[in-house]
Amino acid sequence: MSKTATIDTETYDGPSAAEVLKAREQNCFPMMSYYKEPMLIARGKGQYVWDDKGRKYLDGFAGVVTVSVGHCHPVVVERTKKQLEKLWHTTSLYLYPELPRYAEKLLKKLKPANPKLDAVFFTNCGTEATELAAILCKAYTGRSEFIGLRHSFHGRTMMSMTLTGQSTWRHSTPYLPGVNLAPSNYTYRRPSSMNPTQYAEWCADEVKNIIDHATPGKIAGYIAEPIQGNGGCIMPEPEYFPRVYKHVKDAGGLYITDEVQCGVGRTGNVFLGIENWGVQPDIVDMAKGLGNGYPMGAVATTREIADSLKGRLHFNTFGGNPVACTVGEAVLDVLESEKLPQNAKVQGDYLIAKLKQLQTKDERIGEVRGLGLMLGVELVKDAKSKTADAVLATDVLEKMKAEGVLIGKGGQAGNVLRIKPPMCITKENADQLVDAFEKALKR
Ligand SMILES: Cc1ncc(COP(=O)(O)O)c(C=O)c1O
């Protein structure tokens, strides 16, 4: 047992990290762990978490970009408790007010991205949302050709894994036919012969090339994250998505925006990440921040596209149950009352400026990129070679933890630091994070 530790105002007297790790290894499938000594998280509150020894950390990764309004937010907790006492579960085979009330509120948030988004279906997670989005494309267009992007991540089922463009996230298994992956608009790693705009246009035109050469000329859909999260916070140039959109529409395809990481205000000010790029998605996938850690997801689309499932049985036991809808509605209310997307913009801009300042002093910071609190820092051996430095990334993560700050990492080579805290962070938190990063970088 670990020694009793004081955590915020509570005590932790549960098993130690070593005991939990051992029990997990004995009883569960193999699981990944960050850190040489895997960390036990005993408590969360706002933008902070505590370990089993009572040590407090700034949570700069938010449980993999999921805790949106803050750990255990009191408004969300209170409303969820009340719902738990009233009705835990029923399904859409019956009527209950929580579901349409939440659906209406969520759809209002999506109107700036596309005013025609007027039907939503609730799922349990992001993977399932990707799957349903693909089913919708097939049902609506009658076709099964999809284009996704390299460096993407869309989930863990057969279709979502087939759409995922990173070897690290693909098992050795036959993939589903009909899917092609186009180059991602990864400006930092573009060929030296092209400037950023030329490269963006080239990448967009590769989508057209795939349509022309690897499909019958018409497709079911195209899927992309507005900023690729897991792939290393890869942010396209402004020219990229509008040009792709035209190619997709010319080929009769539907445009799916995977907002599992970028949605719910994370990119700053706007609700969906795609609003930054000026194209109107036909289908929106959401999860993670939608439930602030409660397992839930959603797919939104137009009534016309949703109606393509009419006459087919479509059902989900847990998706959109009364507790999920209560959590989701409370998250939206807190997001609004505390102006968190606006805070994401302010703190994100501040963090980017500070990180870029640091970059001028250390060439191992290859690139600082992202929007709002969807930020990435690509670490390289030196500015000229741009050789990915995954060892440094792992080392920085360890050292920042020792400074009391947790962040994530990603990218195909594992060399991109991912900074995606709950959206309630303060300027002091941003300073703390950058200070810890600067210390960790010192050789
Ligand atoms: C962009 C994106 N899409 C889909 C998923 C899958 O979501 P889930 O893990 O909830 O199934 C993830 C998960 O990390 C993601 O980042």
One-letter identity of residue 52:
D
Give the CA count within 13 Å in the CB-facing half-sphere of 331.
Answer: 33
Residue with the nearest Cα to atom 9 of ligand 1?
126
Q: Specify the pLDDT at position 4.
A: 77
Pocket test for ligand 1, best of 261, 294, 296, 420 (most atoms within 8 A of CB): 261
Is the Cα torsion angle 360, 366, 370, 375 positive or negative in sign? negative
CA distance 106 to 189: 37
pLDDT tens, the chain, 443 aa long: 556 787 777 788 999 999 999 999 999 999 988 899 999 999 999 999 999 999 999 999 999 999 999 999 999 999 999 999 999 999 999 999 999 999 999 999 999 999 999 999 999 999 999 999 999 999 999 999 999 999 999 999 999 999 999 999 999 888 999 999 999 999 999 999 999 999 999 999 999 999 999 999 999 999 999 999 999 999 999 999 999 999 999 999 999 999 999 999 999 999 999 999 999 999 999 999 999 999 999 999 999 999 999 988 888 999 999 999 999 999 999 999 999 999 999 999 999 999 999 999 999 999 999 999 999 999 999 999 999 999 999 999 999 999 999 999 999 999 999 999 999 999 999 999 999 999 999 96
DSSP 91-115: -TTS--THHHHHHHHHHHHHTTT-T
User: 389: how many CB neighbours lie within 10 A of its CB?
Assistant: 20
Q: Specify the pLDDT at position 26.
A: 96
| CA 217–ligand 1 middle distance (angstroms) | 29
CA distance 433 to 55: 16
Using the CB atoms, write b or e for 248-284: b if 16+ within 10 Å: beebbbbbbbbbbbbbbbbbbbbbbbbbbbebebbbb
Q: Which residues contact 342 (CB under 8 A, 6 or more apart)?
A: 268, 269
Q: Which residues contact 144 (CB under 8 A, 6 or more apart)?
A: 138, 177, 178, 220
Fold of 76-337: Aspartate Aminotransferase; domain 2 (3.40.640)
386 secondary structure, DSSP code: -
Nearest to 3 by CA among 58, 34, 42, 57: 42
Which atom of ligand 1 is nearest the CA belonging to 230? 16
Give the CA count within 13 Å in the CB-facing half-sphere of 405.
Answer: 26
Pocket test for ligand 1, best of 31, 65, 123, 127 (most atoms within 8 A of CB): 127
| CA 390–ligand 1 middle distance (angstroms) | 22
Structure token pair of residue 47: 């933008």
Give the CA count within 13 Å in the CB-facing half-sphere of 436.
Answer: 25
One-letter identity of residue 145:
E
Which atom of ligand 1 is nearest the CA belonging to 259? 1
| CA 153–ligand 1 middle distance (angstroms) | 7
Which atom of ligand 1 is nearest the CA belonging to 125? 10
Q: Where in the chain is the domain with CATH 3.40.640.10?
A: 76-337
CA dist list (Å): 1 to 52, 88, 146: 10, 33, 52
One-letter identity of residue 14:
G
| CA 260–ligand 1 middle distance (angstroms) | 6
Largest CA distance in the chain: 65
Angle between helices 322-337 and 74-86 (to 10 degrees): 160
Q: Specify the pLDDT at position 143.
A: 98
Q: Which residues contact 307 (CB under 8 A, 6 or more apart)?
A: none
Q: Specify the pLDDT at position 246.
A: 98
Residue with the nearest Cα to atom 3 of ligand 1?
154
| CA 327–ligand 1 middle distance (angstroms) | 19
| CA 19–ligand 1 middle distance (angstroms) | 29
Report H helices in 185-227: 196-214
| CA 288–ligand 1 middle distance (angstroms) | 7
* Contact status, residue 161 vs residue 155, Cβ threshold 8 Å: yes
Tracing tokens 């955590």 back to the chain, one arrives at: 7
Give the SS3 label for residue 348: helix
DSSP 260-325: TTTTTTTTSSSSSGGGGTT---SEEEE-GGGTBTBS-EEEEEEHHHHGGGTTS----SSTT-HHHH
Structure token pair of residue 218: 């018409």
| CA 232–ligand 1 middle distance (angstroms) | 14
Which atom of ligand 1 is nearest the CA belonging to 152? 1
> Rounded to 10 degrees, what is the CA torsion of 148, 132, 302, 291?
-100
Angle between helices 340-359 and 322-337 (to 10 degrees): 70
CA dist list (Å): 111 to 153, 165, 231, 254, 267: 25, 29, 28, 17, 17
Q: Where in the chain is the domain with CATH 3.90.1150.10?
A: 5-65+339-441
179 secondary structure, DSSP code: E
Pocket test for ligand 1, best of 32, 66, 153 (most atoms within 8 A of CB): 153
Residue with the nearest Cα to atom 4 of ligand 1?
154
Q: Which residues contact 336 (CB under 8 A, 6 or more apart)?
A: none
Q: Specify the pLDDT at position 10.
A: 78
Cβ neighbourhood burial of 25 (10 Å; 0-12, 13-18, 19+): exposed
Ligand 1 shell residues, CB under 6 Å: 125-127, 130, 153-155, 225, 229-230, 258, 260-261, 287
| CA 376–ligand 1 middle distance (angstroms) | 17
Domain 5-65+339-441 has CATH 3.55.50.30: no
CA dist list (Å): 144 to 135, 136, 233: 9, 10, 29
Order of strands across the sheet that contains 405-406: 41-45, 48-51, 56-59, 405-406
